[in-house]
Amino acid sequence: MSDTAVPRTPSKPVTGRPADREGGAGRHGNASRRIADGLRAAILSGELPPGSRIRQEEVAAQYGASRIPVRGALNILQSDGLVTLIANAGAWVAQLNLAECEEAYQLREQIEPLLISASLPGLTAEKLDRMDDLAARMERAATPEDFLHLDREFHDLSYSGAETVVLADFVCRLWNMTQQYRLAFYRLFEEQGSEIVHDEHRMLVRALREGDADQAGLVMRGHIRRTRQALAQHPELFDGARPGAS
Amino acid sequence: MSDTAVPRTPSKPVTGRPADREGGAGRHGNASRRIADGLRAAILSGELPPGSRIRQEEVAAQYGASRIPVRGALNILQSDGLVTLIANAGAWVAQLNLAECEEAYQLREQIEPLLISASLPGLTAEKLDRMDDLAARMERAATPEDFLHLDREFHDLSYSGAETVVLADFVCRLWNMTQQYRLAFYRLFEEQGSEIVHDEHRMLVRALREGDADQAGLVMRGHIRRTRQALAQHPELFDGARPGAS
DNA sequence: TCCCATGGAATTGGATACAATAGACCCACC
DNA sequence: GGTGGGTCTATTGTATCCAATTCCATGGGA
């Protein structure tokens, strides 16, 4: 009797870090989720660079659990596209080559304008103010890590007005897949700090304040497209054995 | 030493049924994958309708395995968007409401034209002939199940020329997520058999033969858009407790 | 000197057994 | 008669142990 019509929504990450729900506790319930969150954070922060191997036993010891929940966590991360599992061989942090990364950016180009349009009606003035604040803090960011963190917060906020599920999940997945390469990319420009990005962010907030969804979509599309083309000019970020990857 | 640069490609499903690689054996290696494939087939065929509960023990007994690989399979399917897992509660076949299904179709509208463009250069004359054959057989399909199966084969083939990874994976995911609702949809029109679909398929093959990627993309976009709008006129396919869902 | 086969070790995959949580049912109480 | 609490069962999550596979190194041969 209780088998029908139980969970309506797929309970997906939405936009921000996944699995922030559960009331924040999660102390006992599922170690898999907790480990997955920890590993995800490590991967997204660059602590675990692409291509690095993940050994079940190490992770289990690190989190004070057995290998079973670690395997669950790895499965979850594989579904997020952050980890590559090969049967009877092991797990590695997912690695994209230039072509795959460009695919991800082409996808973002196509679907993020949709998401910003869906989000616009739900963006309150308070949220837009916070976006302005984040954009300003981004201009003063000291390190690429800080910059990227603020950048993600900014865009997450810009999408927070959307009540979509599938769309937001896909966008989140694409952001996660490419996060490490954005980090490597911005490390190249640590000193100069591209001014264009800040202009684009201001343009985005302006368009959102004016309620112009089409304009906001165009800004986003240009923003992503420009980044994609800039990335394509630095193939050394891919394939090449990363310095501290061992 | 062996930790760097091992698996380049994320080893994703590509377009067709996932995990058809592995040399076809897979007898012993990973039961998780085998169970996931079985469950996926059951879900996509409609045998397990949306909202139905999946009990680990039942599946384990059915496949002659323990619950551990079943858990792995459920994680995989969750990542595919086919299953909803709730900690300490259980697993259910993922269920979309009308809004979420429309999101999926909006996404398809945006990204499948990209995929057909990427696929066009790799489409041989032989493949195009097979597409013609499939389109013809679709016109004579007896049941919605047959029709849908042929339809998927047709479109999979149309995308088989693409060497993309991320793009094809996303499209495959969207097809899987919405497959059950397409089935329900076509069951409504079992008798009349929409003629438009066949026209669109012929138009697609024609555009592909002429090497007109833009035209092919437009056909696909229209094809998907029309289906989305038709679906929106049948909200009874969603939410409502399905007949044999118990 | 290079290549291939064979051994061992490390790592992953799976089965069984145990603990903990969530839901359901029943009963007492208001 | 309705509601709250309590217990009980079914199901899921985790730990420990064992088997299978893969990778690496070493040794023999061409």
- For the stretch B77-135, pLDDT in tens is 988 889 999 888 999 999 999 999 999 999 999 999 999 999 999 999 999 999 999 99
Of A5, A11, A88, the CB nearest to B51: A5
Across B34-38, average pLDDT: 93
Report the range of poorest mean pLDDT among A20-34, A42-56, A123-137, B61-75: A20-34
Report the range of poorest mean pLDDT among A231-240, B28-37, B49-58: B28-37
Of A81, A166, A241, the CB nearest to B103: A166
3-class DSSP assignment, residue A83: strand
Inter-chain residue contact A114 with B107, CB threshold 8 Å: yes
For residue A5, is pLDDT > 80? Answer: no
Identify residue A219 by its one-letter amino acid code: V
CA distance A162 to chain B (A): 12
| pLDDT recorded at residue A192 | 65
A80, B15, B101, B157, B213 from B133: Cα distances, Å:
37, 20, 30, 12, 21
Of B92, B110, B177, the CB nearest to A114: B110
CB-side exposure of A112: number of CA atoms within 13 Å? 26
| pLDDT recorded at residue B162 | 97
Q: Hey, which bits of B94-144 come out as E strands?
A: none
Nucleotide nearest to A68 (CA to C1'): D14
Cβ atoms of residues B75 and A76 within 8 Å: yes
Inter-chain residue contact B107 with A72, CB threshold 8 Å: no
Of B3, B22, B80, the CB nearest to A53: B3
Share of chain B above pLDDT 90, in %: 70
Inter-chain residue contact B75 with A80, CB threshold 8 Å: no
Q: CA–C1' span, A1 to C27, in Å?
A: 23
Nucleotide nearest to A74 (CA to C1'): C12
- Give B50's contacts in chain A (Cβ within 8 Å): none
Report the range of poorest mean pLDDT among A42-56, B179-193, B198-212: B179-193
For residue B42, is pLDDT > 70? Answer: yes
Report the range of poorest mean pLDDT among A66-75, A182-191, B20-29: B20-29
| pLDDT recorded at residue A193 | 63
| Inter-helix orientation angle A56-63/A67-79, to 10° | 110
Dist CA A238 CA A184 (whole Å): 10
A100, B83, B219 from B223: Cα distances, Å:
27, 27, 6
| Inter-helix orientation angle B31-44/B166-188, to 10° | 40
Residues sharing a CB contact under 8 Å with residue B202, sequence separation 6 or more, in sequence order: B135
Nearest to A166 by CA among B81, B13, B171, B17: B81
Q: Does strand C come within 7 Å of the CB of B66?
A: yes
- Exposed e or buried b per residue across B32-55, where buried means at least 16 C-beta atoms within 10 angstroms of its C-beta: bbbbbbebbebbbebebbbbbbbe
Across A135-163, average pLDDT: 95
| pLDDT recorded at residue B8 | 41
Identify residue B57 by its one-letter amino acid code: E
* Cα-Cα end-to-end distance for chain B: 53
Nucleotide nearest to A1 (CA to C1'): C24
* pLDDT confidence band for B195 (50 / 70 / 90): confident
Inter-chain residue contact B166 with A76, CB threshold 8 Å: no
| pLDDT recorded at residue B189 | 78
Of B80, B88, B167, the CB nearest to A29: B88
* pLDDT confidence band for B76 (50 / 70 / 90): confident
Cβ atoms of residues A154 and A116 within 8 Å: no
| DSSP-assigned letters across all residues of A49-80 | -TT-EE-HHHHHHHHTS-HHHHHHHHHHHHHT
- Exposed e or buried b per residue across A122-146, where buried means at least 16 C-beta atoms within 10 angstroms of its C-beta: ebeeebbeebbebbeebeebeebee
Q: Does strand C come within 7 Å of the CB of B68?
A: yes
- Exposed e or buried b per residue across B60-73, where buried means at least 16 C-beta atoms within 10 angstroms of its C-beta: beebebeeebbbbb
Residue A65 buriedness (CB in 10 A; 0-12 / 13-18 / 19+): middle
C-alpha dihedral, B30 to B32 to B38 to B43, nearest 10°: -150
Inter-chain residue contact A7 with B84, CB threshold 8 Å: yes
Q: Does strand C come within 7 Å of the CB of B124?
A: no
Q: CA–C1' span, A49 to C4, in Å?
A: 35
- Give B71's contacts in chain A (Cβ within 8 Å): 72
Inter-chain residue contact B11 with A84, CB threshold 8 Å: yes
Inter-chain residue contact B100 with A166, CB threshold 8 Å: yes
Phi, psi of A58 (to 5 degrees): -60, -50
Q: Cβ within 7 Å of strand C: which of A 4-33?
A: 28-29
Residues sharing a CB contact under 8 Å with residue B229, sequence separation 6 or more, in sequence order: none
- Structure-token match 């995990």, residue found: B19
Mean pLDDT of chain B: 85
Mean pLDDT of chain A: 85
Q: CA–C1' span, B172 to D3, in Å?
A: 50
Best of A32, A75, A83, A225 to substitute, by most chain B Cβ atoms within 10 angstroms, is: A75
Report the range of poorest mean pLDDT among A15-29, A82-96, A134-148, B158-172: A15-29
- For the stretch A188-219, pLDDT in tens is 877 666 789 999 999 999 999 999 999 999 99
For the sheet with B90-93, list strands across it: B53-54, B90-93, B83-86
| pLDDT recorded at residue A21 | 31
Report the range of poorest mean pLDDT among A2-6, A86-90, B231-235: A2-6
* pLDDT confidence band for A79 (50 / 70 / 90): confident
Identify residue B155 by its one-letter amino acid code: H
Residues sharing a CB contact under 8 Å with residue B141, sequence separation 6 or more, in sequence order: B147, B150
Inter-chain residue contact A246 with B3, CB threshold 8 Å: yes
CA B131 to chain centre: 18
Identify residue A139 by its one-letter amino acid code: E
Structural domains in chain B?
28-93 (1.10.10.10), 98-237 (1.20.120.530)
- List the nucleotides on chain D closer than 7 A to a protein CB: 11-17, 20-25
| pLDDT recorded at residue A195 | 85
Return the higher-pLDDT residue of B67 and A76: B67
For residue A18, is pLDDT > 60? Answer: no
Cβ atoms of residues A142 and A193 within 8 Å: no
